[in-house]
A = this chain, B = another copy of it.
Amino acid sequence: MKLNTKTRYAVMALADMSNFPRKKPVSLRDISLRQSISLLYLEQIFLKLKKNNLVKSIRGTNGGYILNKDPKEIKLSEIFLAIDEKVKTVGCTKESKKGCNGKSTKCITHDLWDELELHINTFFEKKKLSDLAKINQNKIQ
């Protein structure tokens, strides 16, 4: 059970941006250098973030991206949604209406995974981008 890099990098990149004044565009090149993330990969990620209105883009020299909202207002769940990362603990979701293992009944663990999903999603709803402050960049002990 692990997070994909796209989502992790998205959070990292946005957290990076939130360390700078919101008015000036931040270029992907700079983020790439500071956070050691491939520039080409960042481009892919930011297209999604833009489509989902988390950032706006400014082209040309001295261009870059700008956060659309104050970091205090940006929930991690929004970022996850933008990147398409679904916290789906299991195949038999409520949406599928199909039951687990192709049967019309819930599998024996169905409610458990539902509960876990809710648990995790609640965590991401509560966390804001602003919670990842510079203070986090300490040495590992």
Closest residue of chain B to A123 (Cβ to Cβ) is B119
Q: In the assembly, what is the distance between CA of A123 and CA of B122, in Å?
A: 13
Per-residue B-contact encoding for A85-109, CB less than 8 Å = 1, 0 else = 1111110001001110111111111
What is the oligomeric copy number? 2
> Which chain B residues lie closer than 8 Å to A106 at the CB level?
136-140
Closest residue of chain B to A1 (Cβ to Cβ) is B87
- Any B CB within 8 A of the CB of A30: no
The A interface is mostly helix, strand or loop, or mixed, namely loop
> Which chain B residues lie closer than 8 Å to A12 at the CB level?
107-109
- Any B CB within 8 A of the CB of A127: yes
Q: In the assembly, what is the distance between CA of A12 and CA of B37, in Å?
A: 39
User: Could you tell me how many residues of chain A have their Cβ less than 8 Å away from some Cβ of chain B?
Assistant: 50
Q: In the assembly, what is the distance between CA of A103 and CA of B116, in Å?
A: 33
Q: In the assembly, what is the distance between CA of A103 and CA of B12, in Å?
A: 15
CB distance from A126 to the nearest CB of B (A): 10
- Any B CB within 8 A of the CB of A2: yes
7 contacts between A and B (CB under 8 A): A1-B4, A8-B109, A15-B108, A16-B108, A36-B103, A111-B136, A112-B127
